[in-house]
Structure 1
Amino acid sequence: MTTMKNTAPAPAPVLARRAEAETCADPSATMTLLAETAPGEGGFTVYRSTFAEGAVGAPAHLHTRAWELFFVISGSLRVLVGEEVTVLDAGDFLAVPPHTPHAFAAAPGAEADVLFMFTPGMDRFDYLRLLGRVMRGESDPGAIAASAERFDNHYVDSPAWRAALAGTTA
């Protein structure tokens, strides 16, 4: 019996230095782009967002191919997962599988510092740059909808999230 040898090169380690990381800011949040592997390698995207009190975060959306992972470094983040709204506090971790509607914003009266991870990665830094331009009024909001398939970011309606933002019950 012949044993096949894996001849694919092993991926290189990834080291991200905060001092060298690119930042994208909008009026209510700053995103620090830490590390991203090339599309097609599987891999990941990792960035850190700091949200000001009252920051709107992301509307209800889902990913068809990627898991989105959240780790709250400090503060509190209100999140939608499916149709349930909850608050993540410092030290909490959440992993949202593909096809699961989710959304997030700074929890009422709180700031939030959150590490986000996606796997597989897919040029998400380009999406975050686009999002920053839209939030600053430098790009047309329609560009986000037009990029849905490329960045695996599909907006959905969520009565539960709308109710949570309005301070009512769905």
Structure 2
Amino acid sequence: MIQDAHPGAPFRPVLTRHADAETCADPSSVITLLADSDTTADGFTSYRSSFAMGAVGAPAHFHTRASELFFVLSGSLRVLVGEEITTLGAGDFLAVPPHTPHAFAAAPGCEADVLFVFTPGMGRFDYLRLLGRVMRGEADPKEIAESAQRFDNHYVDSPVWRAALAASA
């Protein structure tokens, strides 16, 4: 059993059992919600994404308030950071600071299983649920653009990323 943190700790320990975790599925990925900012005193938000082969992931975007951390559990993830594209493999870690454009997708011909952490926490679970609804055709894509400020997710154009995706299609 997980014991309480010492007095004065910023939040209580967070344990999310795999069997109890909420998932958001769409045709190309399964997102497992692990810990949102409301349970971590805004310390972090974390989720796991399992991308199918050829899954697109996220288009170029940036965050103004949080760093986004990537840890590849298995497979390969193609990532744009600024204007550079690289491929991360199992065991690779990447930290993207605020205001840095980035994008990601399963590497061509690969699946990817990735742990994501945002710090400080950013109440991302409602955004991930919205993405799932849009991908399944249950919500209007305009809702994503309208939520940019609320979820600190600001989309940008990246000719480098568009060209990389077109080349692998």
TM-score (norm: length of structure 2): 0.91
CA distance in 2, matches of 1:10, 1:75: 34
The one-letter amino acid paired with 1:164 is A
Say which SS state the counterpart of residue 167 (structure 1) adopts.
helix
Following TM superposition, the consecutive aligned residue runs of length 4 or more in structure 1 with deviations greater than 3 angstroms are 7-10
Give the aligned partner of residue 76 of structure 2.
Answer: 76
- CA contact 1:70–1:116 (8 Å) conserved in 2: yes
- CA contact 2:14–2:39 (8 Å) conserved in 1: no
* Cα root mean square deviation, aligned: 1.7
CA distance in 2, matches of 1:40, 1:111: 30
Deviation digits for residues 16-64 of structure 1 (CA, Å, limit 9, x no counterpart): 1111100000000000001113189331111000000010100000000
The one-letter amino acid paired with 1:78 is R
* Unmatched segments (≥5 aa) in structure 2: 1-6
CA distance in 2, matches of 1:47, 1:150: 18
* Unmatched segments (≥5 aa) in structure 1: 1-6
Give the aligned partner of residue 19 of structure 2.
Answer: 19
1:128 equivalent to 2:128? Answer yes
Give how far 1:94 is off: 0.3
1:60 equivalent to 2:60? Answer yes
Largest Rg, 1 or 2:
1
Deviation digits for residues 64-92 of structure 1 (CA, Å, limit 9, x no counterpart): 00100000000000000000001000000
Change (3 A) 1:93 1:62: same
Say which SS state the counterpart of residue 38 (structure 2) adopts.
coil
TM-score (norm: length of structure 1): 0.91
**Identity percentage over the alignment?**
76
Give how far 1:148 is off: 0.2
